[in-house]
Structure 1
Amino acid sequence: MSAVLGSLIAVLGTLLGSFSTYVFQQRTAARTEASARAERLRLEHLAACSGFAAAVTELKRAVVTAWLRRSDPVELGLALAEADRLGALAETARVRLQLVSGQPEPLADTAFARLDALRGAVDVTELKSHEAEFAAALAAFITAAAERLSASHRAVP
């Protein structure tokens, strides 16, 4: 009888050990998966932020080029076509950023809106002033994005 009782205790101990191992492995796997998902989202957000910053910077360059070539109709036409193409890419990058972040991006919208002022500059001094405003708006976006990305990196378990 004691041999049966000993065997029963051994079997129950083995089952309890197997079950507890299973539970701990499931928790570890779920935590690892959540951490990996959070890191993938952070990297996607980083790519969207940097893609937007690059696209809007290229658009600024094209807008300034068009402004500088406004006295030559042929050169202006080519520069405006390039600015239009880059404007579409920047708008796409802005939409992607909003989709990835899942929230409005007012600092990105501000930087994007500053480009309109560049087009309407009446002289080089005003153009440079608008360029500085654009640079400040873009820097504010980059700073806020870096802080948000850094915070999300610290939050990853």
Structure 2
Amino acid sequence: MDVALIAVAGTLLGVVATHWFQARATERTASLARTEQLRQERIATYSAYASAVVDYRHSQNDRWFRAAQQPGSEEAEESRHASYRQRTAARQALFRVQLVCDDPHIRRLAEAAFKETHCMHEAVGETERAHRSEQGKEALALFISAAAPGVR
């Protein structure tokens, strides 16, 4: 009878230990999957944001040139409206960055890249426009440099 109790106790102990180890392995696997999914989401989000800001900067340059060459023309108005659409796309991408990024420094850099790009059309003269365009490009590069290590 003692041998049977020892066998039952050993079996129960084995079942409990196996369950505990399997539960820990499952938790670890789920945690790794969540981490990888977040990393992939950040890569997609940061890439989409960078693309949207580049497109916005391009449309801001186009807007400035068309307004400087032919103020009030139909092309200048179309370019202005196109820059509004690009601004909306860039702002939406910025919101997504703010949702998936938990680093306040990276979020501030993303906001700075948007802000630098947003002010380009207000430049007075070609030199200032070129300077603002370069500032926007540099601000975006700073964002990318800061965000990249977190997705590697």
The letter of the residue matching 1:23 is W
Whole-angstrom CA distance in 1 between matches of 2:53 and 2:118: 12
- After superposition, give the CA deviation of every residue in 1:85-135 in whole Å (9 maximum; x if it has no partner): 110111111111111124541101111111233212222222222111111
Give, as a single letter, the amino acid of the residue that structure 1 aligns with 2:28: R
Report the Cα distance in structure 2 between the residues aligned to 1:49 and 1:29, rounded to whole angstroms.
Answer: 30
Matched residue type, 1:89: A
CA distance in 1, matches of 2:118, 2:38: 32
Structure 1 position 122 matched with structure 2 position 127: no
User: 1:20-57 CA distances to partner (integer Å, 9 max, x unpaired)?
Assistant: 01100001101111111122122212222111111111
User: 1:77 is matched by which residue type in structure 2?
Assistant: E
- Classify the secondary structure of the residue corresponding to 2:119: helix
| 8 A Cα contact 2:87 2:118, kept in partner | no
Aligned alpha-carbon RMSD (Å): 1.5
Structure 1 match to 2:85: 85
Identify which range, 136-145 or 96-105, moves more after superposition: 96-105
In the TM superposition, what are the counterparts of 1:1-157 in structure 2 within 5 Å?
4-70=1-67, 71-72=69-70, 73-102=73-102, 104=104, 105-150=107-152
Q: Percent identity?
A: 36
Q: Unpaired runs of 5+ in structure 2?
A: none
Query: Counterpart of 1:131 in structure 2: which amino acid?
Result: S
Amino acid at match of 2:24: R
TM-score (norm. length: structure 2):
0.89
Separation (CA, whole Å) in 2 of partners of 1:103 and 1:77: 38
> Is the partner of 1:85 in helix, strand or coil?
helix
1:42-86 residue CA offsets vs partner (Å, 9 max, x unmatched): 221222211111111100111111111113311111111111011
What is the DSSP-based 3-state SS (H/G/I as helix, E as strand, rest coil) of the residue aligned with 1:112? helix
**One-letter identity of the residue aligned with 1:52:** Y
Does structure 1 conserve the Cα–Cα contact (< 8 Å) formed by 2:63 and 2:83?
A: yes
1:36 is paired with a residue of what secondary structure? Answer: helix
Q: Secondary structure at the match of 1:122?
A: coil
Instruction: Give the TM-score of the pair, scaled to structure 1.
Output: 0.86
2-structure distance, mates of 1:117, 1:101: 24
Work out the number of aligned pairs and report it: 147
